[in-house]
Amino acid sequence: MTWVITGLFYGLFMSFYTYINQKYKLNGYILGMWRGFGIMLVTFPIIFVEPFYFDPIYFILLTVQGLFIGYFDSRVFMASARFGAGGTSRTLVFSIVISTILWWILHPADFLVLWQRPWILLGIIAALSGTIISYLFITKDPFSKQLITFRMPAVVVGSLVSTVNKEIMLRHQLETGIGYYLVYSMFISGLYNLYIYASQGRMTKNRVLKEVFAPKVVQASFMLILFSIALIIAKSISLAYTPNTGYVNALSLTSPLWIILFNHYFKEKDLVSVRAGLVLIISLFFLTILASA
């Protein structure tokens, strides 16, 4: 049940990651730069703990992952500032289907094992369906067309992030994978956001000092870096042990439940259905039991 426990922690840390820019409403590319470069600088000593490991495919995956993360991060931050953390996190429901099917396509042997146990397979499909349906009804505010249009590309990329993340963790020792992910992939994600930010013609000295190193940005980024390190570690461990990346993405749906609590505490508008939330929790419970059977 390691993947379940760490997956729930992933959902908690994901809620902080998503909520931050609802509060601060900063430039998404700037936060992406801080997250990427900041995590790399904080965790850089980790790579000296393990002997150096090099495999061309391994580093290609780490590089691709960094580009995916760079895009995903900036879109999350922009969506959170524009549409709020609740709506932004709830769009992750679509990643469950994408991730689950994608993993079965890439690893058909895993699906064939379940095919030989039809009641387990049907139970997992029912639990995933219950999770998705309850999630769609958990808020009384409908998904806006603008939110779906803006978020869907990032949701697809986020599903790819989970898939590549699991491949990285399985290709070599888990500790090494987490270390290189935190240092190398996050450095690449920082470069991605730096490139996009610079391509907008915003790299004058005065603008950089005003926008990138403003006290408000530094304060938000410091919290973001700490929560993100915990998020990456929890998610990587969960993905390494889970039978399917879609199951971890389902557990990440506990993130909006935390955001609901945050919004309630800070008196932010977030109309929710308690009944749908209860069905969501029950569906996730049965998913974890069936997936571990």
- Please give the pLDDT value at position 275: 77
Predicted TM-score (pTM) of the model is 0.90
pLDDT at 133: 86
pLDDT given for residue 11 in this prediction: 86
Report the pLDDT value the prediction gives residue 237, as an integer from 0 to 100: 97
Angle at 196 between CA 222 and CA 185, to 5 degrees: 55
List the structure tokens of 222: 């410091």
pLDDT attached to residue 117: 94
DSSP-based helix, strand, coil % in the chain, nearest 5: 85, 0, 15
Regions in the chain scoring below 70 on pLDDT: 139-143, 202, 256, 259-260, 262-272, 274
Please name which of 183, 162, 151, 156 lies closest in space to residue 238, comparing C-alpha atoms: 162
Is residue 48 within 8 Å of residue 164, measured between CB atoms?
A: no
d(CA 27, CA 212): 9
pLDDT at 48: 83
The enclosing H or E element of 18 equals helix 2-24
Beta carbons of 15 and 259 less than 8 angstroms apart: yes
pLDDT of residue 254: 79
Specify the pLDDT at position 269: 62
pLDDT value of residue 121: 94
Structural contact between residues 247 and 2, judged by C-beta atoms closer than 8 angstroms: no
